[in-house]
Structure 1
Amino acid sequence: MAICLPDTQDDSPEIPISLTRVGVTGVKKLLQLERKDKRPIILVPTFDAFVDLPNDQKGVHMSRSPEAISEVLNSVTEDTSMEVEYICAEIVNKMMTKHEYAKRVEISMVSDYMFLKESPVTKRKTQEMAKLIAKAVGIRENGEIKIRKSIGAELTGMTVCPCAQESVKESNKTELLKFLDEETVEKVLDTVTFASHNQRGIGTLLIEVPEQKEVKGNDIIEIIENSMSSPVCELLKRPDENATVLNAHANPVFVEDCVRNMMESVAKKYIDFPDDTIITARQENQESIHRHNAYAEKVTTLGELKEELNLN
């Protein structure tokens, strides 16, 4: 005869305080996304799953969240149309059913993601890595469930400091004027690439995906790459290295510029998305001449962004 075990999570807590987020973190799974006429994408994502908890319940039914993740992933392995943000939305929907007491459910997914590119000059194919991000949040109101889902990426690139470069340029101008006329000096300044200190930039972009709309992960990666001074490559031969350094120093950007560049690209590419679409962009530059890092971020709606850019 089976033993009936107590369900203490449904007891009343000694201190009747509601909690905003309770759940599990670091749930690792294998996810294979089938693609029509292409090789499948293999991901090993890490999931974090949370629900809110009312003040009259002692604890959440913790096992139900990883159970929901497993059930959804097992059901989508043969679906060639399912994108990662829709998978997160399906997990939220299932968690809402399993956690009937929850008014808010949240799932996030992060996975290494490999994409192919060519080096800038020799055109050698190289495997590059980014982090693929997906999120979904479900809200239960008046018996209805509304789910908002997002997709994003995190990518490393290269930035060149404009301030230091201008200082070096001005110093060199002063030295050149000691033995060259001003017209010749100006020609030199227009021709020569001037030094600056570099940073390894880490850009992150997250875009909410409305119903009946699509945002491709590779498009987000391209936007992040183009927001910095230069992309970086795992494989660079000498001509590629030369081109990368020259191109980067021809396009110096502050950490603030990177976020603004991402936001402008998103506003123009997804201008037909609803105005309440939420966009998050952040950039962290790992400094080479300081022990600290530089950081910038913007969270806004597409409508607010279009208004700032006069795109309405």
Structure 2
Amino acid sequence: MNISVVIPLLNEQESIIELHDWIANVMQSNRFSYEIIFIDDGSTDHSWQNIMQLSHQNDNVKGIKFLKNFGKSQALHAGFAKAEGDVVITMDADLQDNPEEIPELYNMIVIEKYDLVSGWKKKRYDSVISKNLPSKLFNWAARKTSGVELHDFNCGLKAYNKNVVKNIDVNGEMHRYIPVLAKNAGFLNIGEKVVQHQARKYGVTKFGMERFVNGFLDLLTIWFISRFGRRPMHLFGALGVIMFMIGVGFSIYLGIDKLIFNPTGRLITQRPQFYIALVTTIIGTQFFVAGFLGEIILRNKREHHRYLVKQELNFT
């Protein structure tokens, strides 16, 4: 199979059929063998009924329905696990991503041998204050922190070699950082393509300003995981050594000063240096404990399901 199109969605009943027809037309005109995987992330409208209708009309349409809303990352994880195409395309269901971009994205993966190609919505139709400016700041921070030179980490339109999606673990809210996850997994040939952005035709956005706050927090998480995820003791142990040595240094200073230079002076416990020594020693010990616990958890972690599937369509 040439292409798997993975589409996570939440309450997009108005756009699903139109998006399907558009994608199917592109695939047929380019003679691609394809599958379209809709992942219904707990919709409360008629999205799943529309997906069921399409699956009866077109055997290439497959569906996964979550028991409730688990988030976009979990939806992508489920879609990646089921995808069978040599190239996997992800896009949003709101018609803001243009399916006409698919053939060129496919060629960049197959012919130009990219591992991953991310869309760049250079010209946007979103609000400048509520989306464009925060998005630019977010993308700048993501580039500086991750070392992945992309202009638009948040763009839902991306293309992947199948080996990428089968070897990365998208969880939490890490869908924003799939290129970073791919880089950390060893897929270094990451490209970018300017894609057409279209104004939302139906409904309203499912993401508010809080996604940028969450995005920056996730950025800190992925920075930590990429640098210390396999060796947490290297971070916590180093911090523990620094804090512990500060505490020991102040303790030695207080002891020498009391025994040699000021034996009749005020008590050690009446001096502020005593409390600095006490606090830093305790904090240093806690950092060591955190590092040990991190190493123990890392060596004993087990796979667990992060979402529950209620129903599937057309999967064999």
Q: TM range, normalised to the smaller chain?
A: under 0.3
TM-score between both structures, scaled by the size of structure 1: 0.24
TM-score between both structures, scaled by the size of structure 2: 0.23
More helix as a share of residues: 2
More strand as a share of residues: 1
